[in-house]
């Protein structure tokens, strides 16, 4: 269902709605009343202290079941207090990045008591989402009106409402005016230009801005490879030395671009405040469950779940399951290759029209099976990762991505590896294989893993990404429901995935060069010598790669200095706080003493 | 020169001397007077505010030129303030580790206003050293009486005094009673037992305690390898499968012991306070020079030196120099092998007594050349690292160790590699090669790099280390001059070196197994297939190794939690500090406003 509600579509202006809660059709009045109470009642009474009202829009009444849509907003002060609670980091007048606090609000750049621009709409919606998710059960044993929807102290109400089908969805509203403005600078003009990453961040949040930033960076980074690859394709350069040049360039390139991205990403997220934001000190993600207790780091009351239990779940259940799926996937691939060989055999023997059609059957069956497996696997991966019970959203995401990634990598590249290294059929390997399904990671795989065989891969990738930027932007703005902003400091486990891919690419490129007929012709008498030389070169390249990655600092120096400054100031403040405590205790002792000695 | 002065040897008890400064014979009175003044005058007048007096010991007058030996000590309060200045971390009554502050001294475990035991002697001496090193030139243009010993604002006085030969040495005093006590529990009894690591730390400081801790840990860790290696030696097990078992065990072993050490080391240094101690916020090491300015992290005045200049020095001078030396060393080794082949040839042709002696000549020449090169290289490495101008002592040490390590690694193992993989002479490789010169790193190299060829290496290493513990302990206590304590949180670049070695050992072990006649016999027709299989296994093992290292957290969870707690508390304190500032400013504004509106 696509919802086109926006903040301006609502007539009542008692508050600016930011988030919509859609309830199921048959929700009991009792439940609605209880939910409303929990949302609007004060913090100290266990509420979220937000504004809440049903959507009463005559204009849209015909098309939407309005009685089940509720708008959530918050007063200005409530939003600022929420910004402090979620730990948003903003720039101060003295150019430092500081955790926002309501009490020190006038220290921050761009803060004005009469102006709402200080928090971006994405931030305000993130705050509302956080406050809704932080609503936890107190003494309720169940959701009123739904005895089967059990609650226990500390259970996230919103999560229980969602899992028991009472709340259908919670989503942030679009702001048509801001969206139009963003679109104008982003993708409507058909010229190649930088994207307005900061504006994207303002509207969609850091995670999505980082995706587009990475997409843009990666596309630009691909250009040298694309340019270098062209002559290899045009002049069919297949000599040994030219191959080596291309593969070596590729190796250095893939290492350096990933390191440079890390640095650029740190600069960007420092500016946005998310690099400094300590998300590990936040409250746990709503799906996190456990016995209510005191977090030993923050001292706050929250559900606790022992880490060793999570480790056991990961290593004894999730890991074996993933390995099993990978094995099964390889097994299916082998059957596919057997079927294809059988069909080819049949066709060559009879050469009828019927067997000609039969040739396509294995591929079709394989594609269908892979798709089914993929969907099943993704479902299982989500279930398992959720069951692993990670405290932080980022840990949940990283574990989920890692699972999905490994499987997709195997499915996309296993057949290529098999063709390249077992069948050794370079012609088969050279069929282009781009389709909409491949994401950047797989693209990077094609560009880096088999660079010598596909010299055009990078050029295609550049062309693809130039259109991808626009189509992804269009999807974000017009097709998909607006997502909640998610502050993030880096591309997370993707960085690791890309780095792993670039290590694997050293191995594959060396192997491909070693297998080329030209190189083999240089060692007519001894294949063993050839392999030894290739392996030695490969080890040297890998060593070089690790040294490069080690020698290039992950953060630019000025960012390192600023982070060190922040750490230093915090430690100093902590010392002063301890001093103050001692002074206060002394004063207290002195007063007590005074009282006692008084007659 | 061995100096056996101890704190108790001095008769005057006006203060407890901790550190001795030895001046040159001909130092002018004017200089002595100036130095004394700078040491005893108050902090705010640019002095060190320490106690200082010549050693007037009748008993030792005959043997020592006492008029040139000066004792330095400090009052109790001065030492506690110094502990705060160097950022010593101690345990509080609530079991947390906190930076010591004089103001909060009563919060710390074991603190007593009437007792001096709170700071260990090593810590007190470290504080005195730090204070002496922090004495920096103000407006002096030269050292009084020595116009050639130039000074500029911010230059460390002690360093200039040492480099211009006015001060011969600065060293901490022994405490005979405490030393005796330490020795009794450490090495006098000839039973195998745990060392008193905490007492060693108390007397010699963290760096030396970590060395002995690592020596002990490593020796215990070697025992399984030693036990497993024995039957390989006794029964001359040379089958393929048994080899593989030993090599695989070795691989897992070397990865796991290094990861476990990291965790144990973190627990230990957390207890000692050095894991939490922020040495990067300290004042720079005395050798550090630059233009006096404001450190942007700590806000303190200190010499500043741009990081890019250091990088240039490292990459454009030090790195090429090291590479050149490595190349030269390899070149010398090749000449040695040529000479040896020539001598052997000559001997086999003539078989005279004279040529029999000649057989030893290449080895003797090579040993002498290597020793000369080694000494020259070490001198050059120290010069270059000092010239790189590192701000922190740890950075200086790490860069120096790395340089020396690479060179020693090459010298010790290059010939073994050459024998193993080029000459392929396993008999030659099996000659034992232990001598006093080899340190633990090289021992680890012998055990891990060529485990299959030397099954007894680990057993010898264990035996060697059991005696090494005692002889090293004896050297520390009785032979060497007492070193200054150096707080450290880990074994620094050695960890990296050991990890690198264990990566290399995967490669060498796989290669050795691949080269064994038994394995070769399995692939009589195709050597290429054999190599491919070995390389595939090697890559799988390397991947496993990296995954293992990645999956095992570097710090135990309870330490991670405590560090996170500290960070959280610091950030919270920083927030409160900012709030306080705002409140104070408001109060100030209000007062100002009140004044203005007053008639």
pLDDT in tens, B442-455: 778 877 877 767 77
How far is CA B153 from its chain centroid? 31
Sort out which chain A residues have CB atoms less than 8 A from B577's CB and list them.
573, 576-577
Residues A195 and A213: their CA atoms lie apart, in Å, by 8
Which of A99, A532, A539 is closest, CB to CB, to B571?
A: A99
Residues B274 and B261: their CA atoms lie apart, in Å, by 16
- Closest chain B residue by Cα to residue A559: B297
- Closest chain A residue by Cα to residue B539: A507
Strand partners, A6: A174
Q: Please state whether beta strands A301-304 and B167-172 pair in parallel, antiparallel, or not at all (unpaired).
A: unpaired
Read off the pLDDT of residues A3-26 as tens digits, 9 standing for 90 and up: 334 443 343 446 788 999 999 988
Sort out which chain A residues have CB atoms less than 8 A from B280's CB and list them.
564
* Residue listed under structure tokens 């400090």: B74
Under a CB-based contact definition with an 8 Å cutoff, are residues A473 and A211 in contact? Answer: no
- Cβ within 8 Å of residue B352, ≥6 positions away: none
Q: How far is CA A221 from CA A441, A444, B229, in A?
A: 14, 11, 51
Q: Specify the 3-state DSSP secondary structure of B303.
A: strand
Residues B464 and B472: their CA atoms lie apart, in Å, by 11
Structure confidence at residue B167 (pLDDT): 93
Subunit contact A565:B106, Cβ cutoff 8 A: no
Chain A residues 290-319 within an 8 A CB cutoff of chain B: 296-298, 307
Q: How far is CA B294 from CA A93, A429, A576, B301, B393, in A?
A: 21, 60, 22, 5, 20
Sort out which chain B residues have CB atoms less than 8 A from A296's CB and list them.
561, 565
Greater model confidence, B517 or B51? B51
Subunit contact A528:B532, Cβ cutoff 8 A: no
Subunit contact B574:A569, Cβ cutoff 8 A: yes
Residues A450 and A433: their CA atoms lie apart, in Å, by 13
pTM of the model: 0.83
Structure confidence at residue B6 (pLDDT): 42
Read off the pLDDT of residues B490-544 as tens digits, 9 standing for 90 and up: 888 788 888 888 898 888 888 878 877 778 888 888 888 888 888 998 999 899 8
Subunit contact A528:B527, Cβ cutoff 8 A: yes
Q: What is the full DSSP assignment across B485-544?
A: P---SS-THHHHHHHHHHHHHHHHHHHHHHHSHHHHHH-SS-HHHHHHHHHHHHHHHHHH
CB of B536 within 8 Å of any CB in chain A? no
CB of B560 within 8 Å of any CB in chain A? no
Q: How far is CA B401 from CA A32, A453, B216, B404, B491, in A?
A: 69, 43, 21, 5, 11
Structure confidence at residue B7 (pLDDT): 42
Structure confidence at residue B168 (pLDDT): 92
Joined tokens for residue B366: 């090579």
Subunit contact B297:A568, Cβ cutoff 8 A: yes
pLDDT class of B235 with cuts at 50, 70, 90 = confident
Residues B567 and B573: their CA atoms lie apart, in Å, by 10
Q: Is B299 left (phi over 0), alpha (psi -120 to 50) or beta?
A: left
| Alpha-carbon gap: B561 to the closest alpha carbon of chain A (Å) | 6
Chain B residues 242-301 within an 8 A CB cutoff of chain A: 278, 280-281, 296-298
Subunit contact B101:A575, Cβ cutoff 8 A: yes
Residue B213: count other Cβ atoms within 10 Å of its Cβ.
23
Environment class of residue B596 by beta-carbon count within 10 Å: exposed (0-12), middle (13-18) or buried (19+)?
A: exposed
Residues A14 and A74: their CA atoms lie apart, in Å, by 11
Q: How far is CA A508 from CA A501, A552, B507, in A?
A: 10, 24, 18
Which of B101, B531, B583 is closest, CB to CB, to A528?
A: B531
- Of B265, B91, B121, nearest to B204 by C-alpha is B121
Residues B255 and A370: their CA atoms lie apart, in Å, by 37
Under a CB-based contact definition with an 8 Å cutoff, are residues A57 and A9 in contact? Answer: yes
| Chain B interface mutation, best of A104, A282, A547, A579, highest count of B Cβ atoms under 10 Å | A104
pLDDT score of B277 more than 90: no
| Chain A interface mutation, best of B98, B567, B583, highest count of A Cβ atoms under 10 Å | B567
Environment class of residue A523 by beta-carbon count within 10 Å: exposed (0-12), middle (13-18) or buried (19+)?
A: middle
| Alpha-carbon gap: A296 to the closest alpha carbon of chain B (Å) | 7
Q: Which long-range contacts (CB under 8 A, 24 or more apart) does B478-481 make?
A: B479/B2, B481/B1, B481/B2, B481/B3, B481/B171
Residues B239 and B28: their CA atoms lie apart, in Å, by 75
pLDDT score of B12 more than 50: no
Residues A52 and B31: their CA atoms lie apart, in Å, by 80
Residues A503 and A515: their CA atoms lie apart, in Å, by 19
* Residue listed under structure tokens 């010790």: B412
Residues A282 and B218: their CA atoms lie apart, in Å, by 40
Structure confidence at residue B423 (pLDDT): 65
Report chain B's C-alpha Rg in angstroms.
29
Subunit contact A573:B574, Cβ cutoff 8 A: yes
Q: Is B386 left (phi over 0), alpha (psi -120 to 50) or beta?
A: alpha
ipTM for the assembly:
0.81
- Of A168, A151, A173, nearest to A160 by C-alpha is A151
Subunit contact B575:A532, Cβ cutoff 8 A: no
The stretches of B134-205 forming alpha helices (DSSP H) are: 157-163, 176-186, 197-204
Local confidence pLDDT in tens for the 599 residues of chain A: 333 344 433 434 467 889 999 999 888 889 999 999 999 999 888 888 999 988 875 555 544 555 688 999 999 999 999 999 888 999 998 888 888 999 888 889 888 887 778 998 899 999 999 999 888 888 888 999 999 999 888 888 998 999 999 999 999 999 888 999 998 888 766 666 788 999 999 999 998 899 889 888 988 999 998 888 888 778 776 666 677 777 778 888 888 999 999 999 999 999 999 998 887 788 888 888 888 888 888 888 888 999 999 999 999 999 999 999 999 999 998 898 888 888 888 888 888 888 888 888 888 888 888 889 988 998 999 999 999 999 988 889 889 888 988 888 888 777 777 777 666 665 555 547 333 434 677 778 877 877 777 778 888 888 888 888 888 888 888 888 888 888 888 888 788 888 888 899 888 888 878 877 778 888 888 888 888 888 998 999 899 889 988 888 999 988 988 888 888 888 888 888 888 888 888 888 877 765 555 44
| Chain A interface mutation, best of B573, B582, B584, B588, highest count of A Cβ atoms under 10 Å | B573
H or E element that contains A493: helix A493-515
What average pLDDT does the segment B311-321 reach? 95
User: Range with the lowest mean pLDDT among B69-83, B229-243, B359-373?
Assistant: B229-243
Under a CB-based contact definition with an 8 Å cutoff, are residues A73 and A17 in contact? Answer: yes
- Of A168, A164, A166, A162, nearest to A148 by C-alpha is A164
* Average pLDDT in chain B: 84
Under a CB-based contact definition with an 8 Å cutoff, are residues B86 and B126 in contact? Answer: yes
Q: Please state whether beta strands A97-99 and A142-143 pair in parallel, antiparallel, or not at all (unpaired).
A: unpaired
């Amino acid at each position: 269902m696509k919802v086109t509600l926006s903040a301006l579509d609502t007539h009542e202006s008692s508050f600016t709605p930011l988030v919509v809660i859609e309830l199921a059709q048959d929700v009991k009045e009792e439940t609605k009343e209880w939910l409303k109470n929990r949302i609007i009642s004060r913090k100290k009474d266990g509420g979220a202290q937000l504004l809440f009202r049903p959507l009463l829009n005559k204009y849209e009444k015909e098309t939407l079941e309005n009685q089940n849509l509720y708008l959530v907003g918050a007063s200005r002060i409530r939003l600022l207090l929420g910004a402090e609670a979620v730990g948003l980091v903003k720039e101060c007048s003295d150019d430092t990045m500081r955790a926002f606090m309501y009490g020190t609000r006038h220290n921050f750049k761009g803060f004005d008591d009469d102006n709402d621009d200080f928090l971006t709409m994405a931030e305000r919606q993130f705050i509302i989402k956080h406050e809704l998710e932080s609503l936890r059960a107190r003494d309720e044993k169940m959701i009123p009106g739904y005895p089967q929807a059990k609650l226990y102290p500390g259970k996230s109400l919103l999560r229980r409402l969602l899992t028991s089908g009472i709340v259908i969805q919670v989503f942030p509203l679009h702001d048509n005016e801001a969206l139009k403005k963003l679109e104008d600078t982003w993708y409507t003009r058909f010229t190649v230009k930088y994207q307005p990453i900061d504006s994207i961040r303002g509207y969609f949040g850091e995670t999505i801005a980082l995706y587009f930033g990475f997409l843009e960076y990666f596309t630009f980074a691909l250009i040298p490879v694309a340019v270098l690859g062209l002559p290899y394709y045009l002049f069919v350069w297949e000599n040994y030395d030219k191959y080596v040049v291309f593969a070596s360039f590729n190796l250095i390139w893939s290492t350096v671009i990933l390191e440079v991205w890390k640095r650029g990403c740190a600069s960007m997220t420092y500016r946005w405040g998310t690099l400094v934001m300590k998300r590990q000190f936040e409250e746990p993600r709503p799906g996190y469950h456990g016995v209510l207790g005191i977090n030993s780091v923050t001292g706050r009351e929250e559900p606790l779940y022992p880490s060793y239990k999570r480790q056991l779940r990961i290593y004894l259940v999730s890991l074996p399951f993933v390995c099993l799926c990978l094995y099964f996937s390889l097994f299916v691939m082998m059957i596919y290759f057997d079927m294809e060989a059988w069909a080819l055999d049949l066709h060559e023997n009879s050469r009828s029209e019927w067997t000609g059609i039969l040739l396509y059957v294995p591929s079709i069956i394989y594609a269908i099976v892979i798709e089914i497996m993929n969907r099943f696997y993704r479902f299982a991966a989500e279930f398992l990762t959720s069951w692993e019970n990670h405290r932080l959203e980022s840990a949940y995401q990283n574990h989920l991505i890692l699972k999905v990634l490994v499987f997709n990598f195997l499915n996309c590249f296993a057949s290529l590896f098999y063709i390249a290294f077992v069948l050794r059929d370079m012609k088969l390997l050279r069929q282009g294989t781009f389709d909409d399904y491949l994401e950047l990671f797989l693209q990077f795989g094609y560009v880096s893993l088999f660079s010598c065989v596909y010299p055009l891969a990078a050029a295609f990738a550049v062309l693809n990404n130039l259109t991808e930027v626009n189509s992804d932007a269009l999807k974000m703005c017009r097709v998909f429901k607006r997502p909640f902003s998610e502050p993030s400091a880096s591309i997370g486990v993707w960085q690791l995935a890309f780095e792993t891919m670039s290590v694997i690419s050293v191995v594959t490129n060396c192997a491909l060069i070693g297998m080329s007929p030209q190189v083999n012709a240089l060692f007519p008498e001894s294949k063993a010598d050839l392999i030894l030389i290739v392996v030695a070169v490969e080890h040297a390249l890998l060593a070089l790669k690790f040294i490069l990655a080690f020698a290039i600092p992950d953060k630019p120096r000025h960012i390192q200095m600023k982070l060190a400054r922040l750490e230093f100031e915090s430690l100093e403040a902590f010392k002063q706080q301890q001093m103050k405590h001692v002074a206060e205790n002394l004063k207290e002792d002195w007063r007590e003493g005074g009282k006692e000695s008084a007659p």
